Structure 1
Amino acid sequence: MRPRLLCALGVALALAGCGGEQRPAAGAARALPPVSVTTVEVRARDFPVVLHTTGTVTPLSSVDVKAQVASVVTKVHVHEGQFVRAGELLFTLDARADQANLEKAQAQLARDLATLDDAKRQLARSRDLLAQGFVAQGAVDTAQAGVEAQQAAVQADRAAIAAERVNLSYTRITAPGAGRIGAISVFPGTTVAPGGPALLSITQLDPIAVAFSLPQRHLGDALAALQGGGAAVEAALPGAAPQRGRLSFVDNAVDAGSGTVRVKAVFDNRGARLWPGAYVDVSLTARTLAGAIVLPQATIVQTARGPQVFVVEQGKAHPRAIAVVYAEGADAAVTGLKPGERVVLDGRQNLRDGSAVVERRDAAAAASAPLPAQ
Structure 2
Amino acid sequence: MNQQNSTGSPSDDQDLGATSEAHTSTNPGTPSATQATASPTLAEPFHAHKQSHTLRWVVIGVVIVLVLLAIRHFSSETSPAAGPGIPAGGKKAGNGRGQQGPAAITVGQSTAGNMNIYVDTLGTVTPTNTVTIYSQITGRVMEVRYHEGEIVHRGDPLIEIDPRPYQANLTQAEGTLQHDEGVLAEAKIDLARYQAAFAKNAIARQQLEDQEQIVVQEEGTVKADQGTVAYDQVQLAYCHITAPISGRVGLRLVDPGNTVFAGSGSTLLVITQLQPITVVFNVSEDNLPQVQEQLRGRKQLQVDIFDRSNDKQLETGKLTSLNNQIDTTTGTVKFRASFNNNDLQLFPNQFVNARLLVSSLPNATLVPSAAVQHNGTAAFVYTVNSGANNGHTVAVHPVTVVTNDDTSTAVQGLDPGVTVATSGFDRLENNVSVAVSSPHQGTPTSSKPLSGNPAP
Could you state the TM-score of these two structures normalised by the residue count of structure 2? Answer: 0.61
Match of 2:233 in 1: 165
Name the structure 1 match of 2:244: 176
Residue 413 of structure 2 aligns with which residue?
Answer: 336
In 2 relative to 1, CA 329–189 (structure 1 residues): closer, same or farther, beyond 3 Å? Answer: closer
Give the Cα separation in 1 of the matches to 2:269 and 2:411. Answer: 56
What is the aligned counterpart of 2:124 among 56, 64, 77? 56
More strand by share: 1
SS in 2 for 1:255: coil
The equivalent position to 2:284 in structure 1, one of 206, 215, 227, is 215
**Inter-partner Cα distance in structure 1 for 2:120 and 2:106:** 32
The 3-state SS of whatever aligns with 2:326 is: strand
Q: Which amino acid aligns with 2:346?
A: L
- The answer to whether residue 310 in structure 2 is matched with residue 235 in structure 1 is no
Q: Which of 348, 354, 360 is 1:288 aligned to?
A: 360
Cα distance in 2, alignment partners of residues 108 and 225 from structure 1: 65
Matched, 1:265 2:337: yes
**How has the CA–CA distance of structure 1 residues 127 and 333 changed in structure 2, closer, same or farther, with 3 Å as cutoff?**
same
**Which residue of structure 2 aligns with residue 66 of structure 1?**
134
| Gap regions ≥5 residues in structure 2 | 1-92, 96-101, 388-392, 443-456
Distance across 1 between alignment mates of 2:292 and 2:377: 35
Tell me if structure 1 keeps the 8 A contact 2:180–2:218: yes
Inter-partner Cα distance in structure 2 for 1:83 and 1:300:
48
Superposition pairs of residues 92-103 of structure 1, within 5 angstroms: 92-103=160-171
1:363 paired residue number: 438
Distance 1:100 1:294, change over 3 A: same
SS of equivalent residue, structure 2 residue 306 = strand
Closer/same/farther in 2, CA of residues 84 and 328 from structure 1, 3 Å limit: closer
SS in 2 for 1:293: strand
Is the partner of 1:119 in helix, strand or coil? helix
> 1:335-354 residue pairs with structure 2 within 5 A?
335-340=412-417, 349-351=429-431
Q: Name which of 304, 307, 317 aligns with 1:246.
A: 317
Separation in structure 1 between the aligned mates of residue 300 and residue 292 of structure 2, nearest angstrom: 10
1:63-115 deviation per Cα after TM superposition (whole angstroms, max 9, x unaligned): 11111112221222223223211111111112222212212221122222221
Shift of the 251–336 alpha-carbon distance from structure 1 to 2, 3 Å rule, reads same
Pick closer, same or farther for the CA change 1:98–1:301 going to 2, 3 Å.
Answer: closer
Which consecutive unaligned segments of at least 5 residues does structure 1 have? Answer: 1-32, 368-374
Letter of the aligned partner of 1:149 in structure 2? Q
Tell me which structure has the larger Cα radius of gyration: 2
Percent identity of equivalent pairs: 29
- 2-structure distance, mates of 1:329, 1:46: 14
- Distance apart, 1:363 and its partner CA: 2.6
Contact (CA 8 Å) 1:222, 1:250: kept in 2 or not? Answer: no
Distance 1:320 1:269 in 2: 45
Query: Residue 306 of structure 1: CA displacement?
Result: 5.5
Q: Which has the higher helix share?
A: 2
Match of 1:198 among 237, 246, 267: 267
Number of equivalent positions: 332
Aligned counterpart, 1:152: 220
8 Å Cα contact 1:55-1:210 kept in structure 2: yes
Q: Which amino acid aligns with 1:114?
A: G
8 Å CA contact 1:50, 1:286 repeated in 2: yes
Mean CA deviation greater in 45-54 or 231-240: 231-240
- Check the 8 A contact 1:39/1:360 in 2, yes or no: no
The equivalent position to 1:121 in structure 2, one of 162, 184, 189, is 189
CA 330–75 in structure 1, closer or farther in 2 if over 3 Å, else same:
closer
One-letter identity of the residue aligned with 1:176: P
